[in-house]
Amino acid sequence: MAWRLRLAPEKTNFDFFKHQWLTFGGSVVLMLLAFVAWGFMGLNFGIDFKGGTTLRTESVNAVDVGAYRAALEALPIGDAAITEVFDPNFGPDQHVAMIRVSAAEQDEALSPELLNEVKAALVKTDPDLKVVAEETVGPKVSSELVWTSVLAVAITSLAIMAYIWMRFEWQMALGGVVALLHDVFITVGIFAFFQLKFDLTIIAALLTILGYSINDTVVVFDRLRENLQKYKTMPLRDVMNLSVNETLSRTLMTSITTLIAVGSLLVLGGDVIRGFAFAIFMGVLLGTYSSVYVAKNLVLFIGLDRSDKPKKSDKSEFANVDA
């Protein structure tokens, strides 16, 4: 018989409700602290949300991100994001970079004089460098991006809630969405508390977190639905504990393999994607925790209708869809 790695015993009997006021209550406290961090410290918005200028440069010499950044640090500007562009259609002597620069003061446009100084500093670093394109994002457009991002997260959460409602019960839909918001709010709260850069890549990470977290929650809920039909007289709390224990090995294996991949990006990916990788890393940790300790706890508090009458979900075309 081949040897297989197990992150959890084949059969476990953990009581995930034993310290429910500590685990679920701790999540509530963390969410409140996240709101406090947003309100009093605010988010450290990047160029996408503050406005700024994007320069596209080309040179026959290789892009030296460190040298570009060092040249811009001496100027009275705000944030500077430098990204090398790779394209298979580029020639061997065509090296392209995207440089996004914001003004020192929030919602203040970069003046033409200061923009010329930025270009001069880059050319001084590489005399062969040419600015081939220039684009400016004003405060009005950047503020619209903020609301569009919030709307994207809200619509995604509502769509997920509708799907779970049709597939399971409204109590599970509510528990699943609260667990998702728990993951998103605490992640954003961490960015606010530590004043980490918050830009459109972080919004992409938050949307990824929503998709990842609900996947694990749906697996637990699917097993819970099966066990509710199998153990009709068992107390709801015991059925929930049984369901989580039966899916525990799958939860740990999925989470740890994901964390290994994201952790590699976090350590080795560089400054460009470090914020994105960190958001995903925290989201995976929080998503695993919320699937076990938040979603099902809320369902237990609300209660489920365990009568033998036909359920609305039994008539739905989603009832027989595999998880």
Could you tell me the residue ranges of all domains in the chain? Answer: 20-43+142-315, 52-137
* Predicted local distance difference test score (pLDDT) of residue 11: 74
* Predicted local distance difference test score (pLDDT) of residue 314: 46
Task: Give CA angle at 147 (144, 152), nearest 5°.
Answer: 120
In 124-227, where do the E strands start and end? 130-137, 197-198
Is the model's pLDDT at 323 over the cut of 90?
A: no
Structural fold of domain 52-137? Alpha-Beta Plaits (3.30.70)
Is the model's pLDDT at 132 over the cut of 80?
A: yes
* Between residues 123 and 105, the one the model is more confident about: 123
Q: Which of 133-142, 188-197, 267-276, 283-292 has the lowest mean pLDDT?
A: 133-142
How far is it, in rounded angstroms, from Cα 206 to Cα 39?
19
Q: What is the DSSP letter of 145?
A: H
Neighbours of 13 (CB within 10 A): 8
In 116-211, where do the E strands start and end? 130-137, 197-198
pLDDT band, residue 310 (cuts 50/70/90): very low
Q: Which of 16-20, 76-80, 277-281 has the lowest mean pLDDT?
A: 76-80
* Predicted local distance difference test score (pLDDT) of residue 306: 64
Can you tell me the mean pLDDT for 72-76?
A: 81
Q: Are 289 and 212 in contact (CB under 8 A)?
A: no
* Predicted local distance difference test score (pLDDT) of residue 285: 92
Percent of the chain whose predicted confidence (pLDDT) is above 70:
85
How far is it, in rounded angstroms, from Cα 205 to Cα 1?
41
Considering the entire predicted model, what is its pTM? 0.74
* CATH, domain range 20-43+142-315: 1.20.1640.10
* Identity at 131, one-letter amino acid code: V
Q: Are 244 and 216 in contact (CB under 8 A)?
A: no
pLDDT band, residue 32 (cuts 50/70/90): very high
* Between residues 319 and 125, the one the model is more confident about: 125
Can you tell me the mean pLDDT for 82-104?
A: 79
pLDDT, tens digit, 9 for 90 and up, residues 79-89? 777 888 777 77
**C-alpha Rg value of the chain to the nearest Å:** 25
Can you tell me the mean pLDDT for 255-262?
A: 91
How far is it, in rounded angstroms, from Cα 194 to Cα 250?
33
Q: Per mean pLDDT, which of 28-37, 91-100, 192-201 is the most reliable?
A: 28-37
Phi/psi for 224 (5° steps) reads -65, -40
Can you tell me the mean pLDDT for 300-306?
A: 75
* Identity at 71, one-letter amino acid code: A
In the block, tokens 């081939």 appear at 132
Task: Give CA angle at 259 (256, 265), nearest 5°.
Answer: 155
Q: What Å distances lie between residue 43 and 35, 50, 88, 146, CA to CA? A: 11, 11, 37, 11
Residues contacting 258, CB < 8 A, separation 6+: 212, 284
In the block, tokens 């961490």 appear at 190
* Predicted local distance difference test score (pLDDT) of residue 308: 53
Helix axes 271-293, 295-302, angle to 10 degrees: 30
* Between residues 172 and 140, the one the model is more confident about: 172
